[in-house]
Amino acid sequence: MYRANDKRYENMSYRRCGQSGLKLPAISLGLWQNFGSVNIYENSRAMIHTAFDAGITHFDLANNYGPEPGSAESNFGRILAQDLKSYRDELIISSKAGYLMWPGPYGEWGSRKNLIASCDQSLKRLGLDYVDIFYHHRPDPETPLEETMGALAQIIRSGKALYAGISNYPAARAAEAFRLLREMGVRCLIHQPRYNLLTRNYEPDGLFELLEREGVGAIVFSPLAQGILSGKYLNGIPDGSRVAVSSPLQELYLNPTGIAKLQKLNSIAEARGQTMAQMAIAWLLQRPAVTSTLIGASRPEQITEIIRCLEHPIFSAEEQRAIDEITGIC
């Protein structure tokens, strides 16, 4: 029988999410990949144990995570029932809806029908009465934003979720969502954007300044740019790598110019006594408005290694300038 590490809260950093009363761990675990029906269940279970034993209290899901839609939630629900039921009040569990989940006109986007049905389905798969955070996963270009935010507000008022969140919203759309939720008597707790050393488009967009003004936290996903910042591509694409057949990643990051950037970033990391992955996470955590970073993992050891980024969180002005020059933000 699983028993959590008695010292699990000693080394993790917890940060207040915006202007709310909720604190999140600096490192959160995302279950987008490696927790679905095609994955080895005992490995997924071991990763959850490793994370919680290290003080990671936040586990992030979505209704379509799998890759078989719903299977990540079902597996996590099984782990909750098997190992973590007595620790439920120590956990922050989030889910989302908005990407394609089932066929027909109601299985995606942002209608009231989709969001409320999705939340109910997620709760059944997880075996829970409520999730802590429920997100709209992506902006809907056709459904009125009032309807989408109204559905989120209804989910909160019904007790099916404690906090509302949005993901992938640009600054202008996010600002309107925050206003609508406020008028409905619900504050947006958190925004989940894609953001990392190589993907910094939300900086000129003004999203992070907006979040600070609004008192909304940020949890950033893809902090290692889908593994590009993991360090394994410093000498090119290894044989058998999943990006060997992924032309978008190759074109964006793994051309000669991109690999030269990775090598320069790695040199800064080495001088700091960190791996490039650890430096990439630490860099995110000192950015304004960032509450938590959402990591993925394929084995328990990766989680343990990444958490060591908290041992060296400070960047000098010289390091910051060098990183900005390398990544093209000056």
Per-residue pLDDT of the chain (330 residues; tens, 9 = 90+): 899 999 999 999 999 999 999 999 999 999 999 999 999 999 999 999 999 999 999 999 999 999 899 999 999 999 999 999 999 999 999 999 999 999 999 999 999 999 999 999 999 999 999 999 999 999 999 999 999 999 999 999 999 999 999 999 999 999 999 999 999 999 999 999 999 999 999 999 999 999 999 999 999 999 999 999 999 989 877 766 665 555 576 677 888 899 999 999 999 999 999 999 999 999 999 998 999 999 999 999 999 999 999 999 999 999 999 999 999 875
For residues 261-283, one letter each, b for 16 or more C-beta atoms within 10 angstroms of the residue's C-beta and e for the rest, the string is bbeebbebbeebebbbbbbbbbb
Question: Taking the complete model, does pTM exceed 0.85, yes or no?
Answer: yes
- Please report, as a single letter, which amino acid is at residue 240: G
DSSP at 134: E
Q: Which two tokens stand for residue 101?
A: 């989940």
Confirm if 327 and 261 have CB atoms less than 8 A apart. Answer: yes
Q: Which two tokens stand for residue 72?
A: 């990540």
Task: Indicate the fold that domain 14-229+275-318 takes in CATH.
Answer: TIM Barrel (3.20.20)
- Please report, as a single letter, which amino acid is at residue 8: R
Nearest to 28 by CA among 94, 75, 84: 94
Q: Which two tokens stand for residue 84?
A: 């973590």
Residue positions counted in the chain? 330
For residues 165-181, one letter each, b for 16 or more C-beta atoms within 10 angstroms of the residue's C-beta and e for the rest, the string is bbbbbebeebbebbebb
Sequence ranges of the domains in the chain? 14-229+275-318
Q: For residue 309, what are the CA distances in angstroms to 33, 197, 270, 274, 302?
A: 22, 15, 13, 7, 12
Per-residue pLDDT at 253: 84
- Please report, as a single letter, which amino acid is at residue 21: G
How far is it, in rounded angstroms, from Cα 148 to Cα 150?
A: 5
CA angle 90, 134, 296 (to 5 degrees): 70
Q: In terms of C-beta density within 10 A (0-12 exposed, 13-18 middle, 19 or more buried), how is residue 14 classed?
A: middle
Unique residue bearing structure tokens 């060098």: 322
How far is it, in rounded angstroms, from Cα 26 to Cα 14?
A: 6
Q: Which two tokens stand for residue 149?
A: 């935010």
